[in-house]
Chains A and B, each alone.
Chain A
Amino acid sequence: MKKKTIVSGGSKLEMFSLLGPTSLWILFFVVLPILMFVVYSFWVVRNQMIVREFSFKNYIRFFTNPMYPTLLLRSLVIAFGVTGTTLVFGYPLALKIYRSKGRAKAILYMLILIPLMTSYIVRIYTMRLVLGSNGVLNNLLMVVGLIDEPLQIFLFNRFAIFLTLCVILSPFMVMPVFTSLEKIPKSYIEAAHDLGSSELQTFWRVIFPNSLPGVIAGSMFIFVLSLGDFLTPILVGGKQGTTLSKVIQVNFGFAYDWPLGAALSVILLSISMTVILVSNRFGALREV
């Protein structure tokens, strides 16, 4: 759709008086901070001090120490797994909300909105409460008599990260898919029915293809958010569940190697940006 240009009444002065302040804000608190990653990533740490001296050392460390590519691969595997799983579980739920009517629809919509808006850390905390060795899951299994001793398998491993991320992030899949389903004109579906297509044909040939922008938007969100999450690995991941984003956080924390952390961030950020820009090509940003 082409936007109509309004020419009357607008002067260059008016434009810049509005554009100026917002652009300055964006420049100072969005663009420059992100560029800082690049700047810091070329510096080094010597004697616990950041030395402003140009060097490729941090990037070389990433590619020569097999630990870092392994961590990146692990992060990517988790992100792919979470994206796929939330799609498989989230799509049917979005479809269910789309097909519900009246009050039921409003309630279901709210049931997705609540977890989307509830504190991230509170939700991780509740997952830990369920999965922990003194957690509810072990407790229930012991009460029922299935096990005698608490199992350690639920918490502090990669599966716990995967499960927690799936539960926490799933609304980010359901919402965009639901939004794009709602946008499908009713006339398309009526036309399909009038032309004699069955429920199932209508779904696969009309509804599903038209919901793809939502699927892409949801997948983009989940992939990028799982890739960048560091609280979940810290809180439920344990030693086995170290991911690249957790290592970034550690480098900015007690390890105090900001330049290395910045270099790792640049790598992870480039991957995330690529995913966002590619999804945007498919119209994903219009669905959010």
Chain B
Amino acid sequence: MIDKTTVPERIGHFFGKLFSPGFGFILLVITYVPMILVIVFSFNESIIAAFPLERFSLVWYRELLADASILGAFRNTLLIAVAAVAGSLVIGVSAAFVLHRFHFRGARIYQVVILLPFLLPGIFTGLALLLFFAFTGIPKSLFTVLIGHVVFCTAVVFKTVAARLMVMRRSLEEASYDLGATTAQTFFRVTLPNMRTALITGSLLAFVLSFDETLITFFVIGAQLTLPLKIWGMMRAQFTPVVHALAATIFLISTLLVVVFSRFILGRETAR
């Protein structure tokens, strides 16, 4: 066989061979080393985050649990995450279903607008809502934070559910309509049970994203803080290793959620 590779291809291949495993490895290392260091320092008795390490200690975690404002922020974060999941499920699923079921003018724009809060950086969604709340005279509170989270999470739920509806066999729904079922009956008895996986995936994603949301929350939060904003405040105040413990806790909670989440998805995919 005559090798028909061109010179640029060969150069590309050379770099590929040289760097391919290395580059990916470097990326993983610099992604994880800082996070692992925070976990290590959170168990270190010394007040200074430096090597050599002193003794293993849970003192920073004990202080963390003793701090009522942190626990309050944690409770706020959980409440908002649960409410945001519920709200974004209702809006995201109806939006995806209406696009799937009906054809109307402006459907494409409708779709892009729903996705906008997910595509745009948080600063725009956050500031836009801030201006809107200021204009309409709605005071900033946990409720405004919730609206911000629902706007953001709706995009994610919509995306997940719409993707599932695209691959779902239409014959199922068509059969239902042909047998005389109404749109509502078809939705609750055929469509909804068929997108159970997408609903669970969307809810888990929405929960994690709401739990960690910082950029939108930053602009629309009132006096009551969420956990990421609490960390933000602590980072700017007098330093204490309690921040390490809090950062490590948040990281571990997210990791746990992701592990549950991806086990769920991968399990489904192999089962299918």
Residues of B within 8 A of A117 (CB): 208-209, 212, 254, 257-258
Interface pairs (19), CB distance under 8 Å: A6-B177, A9-B177, A29-B150, A30-B114, A36-B128, A92-B23, A118-B255, A122-B228, A126-B34, A130-B37, A140-B51, A170-B31, A171-B31, A201-B4, A204-B12, A224-B119, A231-B214, A248-B127, A265-B127
| Shortest Cβ distance from B230 into A: residue | A121
Q: Which A positions have Cβ atoms within 8 angstroms of B?
A: 3-6, 8-11, 14-15, 18-19, 21-23, 25-26, 28-34, 36-37, 39-40, 88-90, 92-93, 95-96, 106, 109-111, 113-115, 117-123, 125-130, 134-136, 139-140, 143, 167, 170-171, 174, 196, 198, 200-201, 203-204, 221, 224-225, 227-231, 235, 245, 248-249, 252, 258, 261-262, 265, 268-269, 272-273, 276, 280, 285, 288
Would B129 and A29 count as touching, CB distance under 8 A? Answer: yes
Total A-B residue pairs with C-beta atoms closer than 8 Å?
271
Residues 155-181 of B at the A interface (beta carbon under 8 Å): 159, 170, 173-174, 177-178, 180-181
| Residues A126 and B114 in contact in the complex (CB < 8 Å), given A29-B132, A248-B127 | no
Would A280 and B124 count as touching, CB distance under 8 A? Answer: no
Residues of B within 8 A of A200 (CB): 5, 9-10, 12-13, 16
Residues of A within 8 A of B56 (CB): none
| Residues A252 and B250 in contact in the complex (CB < 8 Å), given A30-B117, A120-B228 | no
Is B143 part of the binding interface, using a Cβ–Cβ cutoff of 8 Å? Answer: no
| Shortest Cβ distance from A220 into B: residue | B119
Residues of A within 8 A of B74 (CB): none
Q: Which of B64-72, B100-108, B193-201 contacts A (4 or more CB under 8 A)?
A: B100-108
Would B34 and A167 count as touching, CB distance under 8 A? Answer: yes
Q: How far is the CA of A88 from the CA of B130 in the complex (A)?
A: 37
| Shortest Cβ distance from B12 into A: residue | A204
Q: How far is the CA of A245 from the CA of B122 in the complex (A)?
A: 11
Would A245 and B123 count as touching, CB distance under 8 A? Answer: yes
Q: How far is the CA of A147 from the CA of B229 in the complex (A)?
A: 36
Which of B31, B49, B244 is within 8 Å of A134, CB to CB?
B49
Residues of B within 8 A of A126 (CB): 34-35, 37-38, 247
Would B37 and A136 count as touching, CB distance under 8 A? Answer: yes
Residues of B within 8 A of A221 (CB): 119
Would B104 and A19 count as touching, CB distance under 8 A? Answer: yes
Would B235 and A143 count as touching, CB distance under 8 A? Answer: no
Would A272 and B120 count as touching, CB distance under 8 A? Answer: yes
Would A228 and B124 count as touching, CB distance under 8 A? Answer: yes
Is B76 part of the binding interface, using a Cβ–Cβ cutoff of 8 Å? Answer: no
Q: Return A107 CB to nearest CB of chain B, in Å.
A: 10
Q: How far is the CA of A149 from the CA of B110 in the complex (A)?
A: 57
Taking A89-B27, A204-B12 as given, write out 10 further A-B residue pairs in contact, using a Cβ cutoff of 8 Å, ordered by the A residue number. A15-B98, A21-B91, A26-B95, A96-B20, A119-B212, A121-B231, A122-B228, A198-B3, A200-B13, A235-B235
Residues 21-64 of B at the A interface (beta carbon under 8 Å): 21-24, 26-28, 30-35, 37-38, 41, 48-52
Q: Return A104 CB to nearest CB of chain B, in Å.
A: 13
Residues of B within 8 A of A229 (CB): 121, 123, 215
Q: Return B210 CB to nearest CB of chain A, in Å.
A: 11
Would B38 and A125 count as touching, CB distance under 8 A? Answer: yes
| Residues A93 and B28 in contact in the complex (CB < 8 Å), given A117-B209, A136-B49 | yes
Would B170 and A22 count as touching, CB distance under 8 A? Answer: no
Q: Return B61 CB to nearest CB of chain A, in Å.
A: 16
Q: Return B223 CB to nearest CB of chain A, in Å.
A: 16
Q: How far is the CA of A278 from the CA of B260 in the complex (A)?
A: 36
Q: Return A140 CB to nearest CB of chain B, in Å.
A: 7
Would B98 and A18 count as touching, CB distance under 8 A? Answer: yes
Contact with A along B82-116 (1 / 0, CB 8 A): 00000000010011011001111000001011111
Would B262 and A109 count as touching, CB distance under 8 A? Answer: yes
Is B266 part of the binding interface, using a Cβ–Cβ cutoff of 8 Å? Answer: yes
Contact with A along B209-253 (1 / 0, CB 8 A): 101101100110000000110011001000000011001001100
Q: How far is the CA of A230 from the CA of B243 in the complex (A)?
A: 21
Q: How far is the CA of A112 from the CA of B81 in the complex (A)?
A: 23
Q: How far is the CA of A30 from the CA of B91 in the complex (A)?
A: 13
Would A6 and B34 count as touching, CB distance under 8 A? Answer: no
Q: How far is the CA of A5 from the CA of B255 in the complex (A)?
A: 42
